Amino acid sequence: MVWSESVPRFWRERARKYRLVGGRCRKCNSIVYPHRSVCPHCGAENMEPIELPRRGKVVTFSVVRHPPRGFEGKEPFLVAVIELENGARVLSQLVDVHPEDVKEGMEVVAVFRRYREQAPNGIIEYGIKFRPLK
C-alpha cells in the first residue's frame, strides 16, 4: 500500500470507526448496525443515521485461538455479539477480560482502542471495542 493512498481513506472512514453509528428506518422504526441505506427488515430506502448507546450485554461470544492473517500474536482474543440498550446488535471484539471470565448476559461498555497498524511506519487505526462494565 502506498502511504499517500492510506491517508485519505483514513480520514474518510474515521466517523465510522470512532463513533458507534447505526441506522433507524423511518418506515418500520428498526434499528440496525452498521448504518446502511436500505432497511434489512422492510426494504425501505429511508434510513437515518443515529448514534447508538455505548452500553449493552453479551448475547454470545467466541474465543479465537487460531487468528486470521494480520492478527498473529494476538490470540486468544474474544469476539462477541453485543445487544445494545436500544436492541441493536453489534459484532465486536471484547477486551480487558480473560476468556474464562466472559459470560452471556455480561454487561459491557464501548471503549476506544487500537485496531491495527497499516504498516511498520503506517497509520495506526483505532476504533470501538467493548469491555466489561466494572
Q: Where are the domains of the chain?
A: 3-132
Q: How many CB atoms lie within 10 A of CB 4?
A: 7
Work out whether strand 77-84 and strand 107-117 pair parallel, antiparallel, or are unpaired. Answer: unpaired
Cα–Cα distance for residue pair 107/91, rounded to 1 Å: 15
Q: Residue 106: pLDDT above 80?
A: yes
Residue 3, pLDDT score: 45
Question: Given pLDDT bands bounded at 50, 70 and 90, which one contains residue 125?
Answer: confident
